[in-house]
Structure 1
């Protein structure tokens, strides 16, 4: 089963980052000396990856990539019985791997670490997206990701039905409180930015402005950014702020958003709500790898 979404997402530098994280994980584990002592090179195992709870899958195509990075792709066969983004039932076999025993025993934990972690994110995201059902508000992730795992974690957000915010600091220019305070205000911050792009404004990435007060919202509107973020506002202030923003400027709610608050925020009608906990606090999905000897 080829996952085209995975292939499209992990191209270019995203694929390079993924390979580097897999290589580091394999290097951290070192050689499996116990497996090498007990199993002969010709011994083979069949490994079934089994869901031990209902979950939304993410990261299944990483399994063959781990074997590829080990130089063992040709010695192993991988069959995926589920696709990323699919909700699977408890006890479902989501993948099967056949290969040299020493290879599978070394790869086991690395493969499970990815799939369990990413599927946990996708499962939490799916729950959050369901809370926004019936509204126009889309769920955004943040840059609150584990170092070295930003692309896999943000991919898991997409698998769960969420939307990626900027992947790095250059993809969208965001004025946050520190920038605004240092510049002396939103107009001054935008003037400094435009000056830095003087002569090549067409190359300037889209701009988002974080606002803490209604006065800042008014200032931000005058600058006509792509998006205005309403940061840590209570519901009455948020409602008033959203009413101020004209069509053509996107709105985003952010700041300590709890999953229980999503339905209420969606009812207010912002374009986006960003939630850091969908990556930094997602519980890993429970999957295991069951191995048995095979003569295949």
Structure 2
């Protein structure tokens, strides 16, 4: 059985990047000469993937099937899933079983667990951040602070934890950061340069976000009517004043060094979004084990 959310996310470019990551992981390991020496091609194992800590939010379980497909062994293996991505599972729960050739499962074991543990760690940390915002209108955004080559899987894990994806790449939303603004000479000049680059065809331009460090910059940004204004590294009082300035129709985002302890207070101020790099770059891997048992030979 396939996971609809997984299949919806991993299409086109996202799927291409995931397959490349799986292929690279398999290539890194090379041939499993030890298993090939000890087991015959007809020996089979049953592998159980077991949660080893409480309240893990699962992400990346369907990758197990893709790993076997990339090895050319999917038809020789039987998979059963007892949890779905996005589920919060208890300690000691068996989330999946795999039955197949011993040599195949022993080589696939670490690749499957590396993806599952890493992505489930992100989903679990994301879920904790989303819970901290409960009761507010503020939604949690991820960032581009992702591991090279793993952006799509990591952003998928954020979705599994209840977060919202933001800027998969640099072209999805055009963001004026401090270095752009300083180089252009100010927010109005930066926007003028952007309009010139698009030859005045604003309707063909991706949405624009402007990063603001001061209340003066917020006022300048409002005059440009962007899709979103980011309040960057502001203290709580300045943030409150800035949010009061921004009119309806322009989204607001709080960013810059936000930790989980600060989220409830930020949510109480009422921005539309808060972006948190920690949910990807500082997530601890979740703990899963893959337990193997011999099931005889073909």
- Determine helix, strand or coil for the equivalent of 2:110: helix
Q: TM-score, normalised by structure 1?
A: 0.99
- Determine helix, strand or coil for the equivalent of 1:74: helix
Match in the other structure for 2:252: 251
Q: Distance in 1 between matches of 2:11 and 2:216?
A: 43
- Determine helix, strand or coil for the equivalent of 1:210: strand
Q: Distance in 2 between matches of 1:181 and 1:146?
A: 28
Aligned length: 296
Q: CA deviation at 1:200?
A: 3.2
1:130-151 Cα offsets, whole Å, 9 max, x none, are: 0000000000000000000000
**Which runs of structure 2 are paired with 1:64-75 in the superposition (5 Å)?**
64-75=65-76
- Does residue 24 in structure 1 map to residue 9 in structure 2? no
Match in the other structure for 1:179: 180
**Which runs of structure 2 are paired with 1:79-158 in the superposition (5 Å)?**
79-158=80-159
- Determine helix, strand or coil for the equivalent of 2:119: helix
Unaligned regions of 5+ residues in structure 2, if any? none
**Which runs of structure 2 are paired with 1:138-287 in the superposition (5 Å)?**
138-287=139-288
Q: CA deviation at 1:171?
A: 0.4
Match in the other structure for 1:49: 49
- Determine helix, strand or coil for the equivalent of 1:78: strand
Q: Distance in 1 between matches of 2:201 and 2:80?
A: 50
- Determine helix, strand or coil for the equivalent of 1:97: strand
Q: Distance in 1 between matches of 2:32 and 2:148?
A: 26
Unaligned regions of 5+ residues in structure 1, if any? none
Q: CA deviation at 1:260?
A: 0.2
Q: CA deviation at 1:199?
A: 4.9
RMSD, matched Cα: 0.7
Q: CA deviation at 1:201?
A: 2.5
1:43-86 Cα offsets, whole Å, 9 max, x none, are: 00000000001200000000000000011110111111100000
Q: Distance in 2 between matches of 1:246 and 1:199?
A: 24
Match in the other structure for 2:35: 35
Contact 2:195 2:201 in 1 (8 A): no
Which range moved further: 200-209 or 169-178? 200-209
Q: Distance in 2 between matches of 1:251 and 1:177?
A: 17
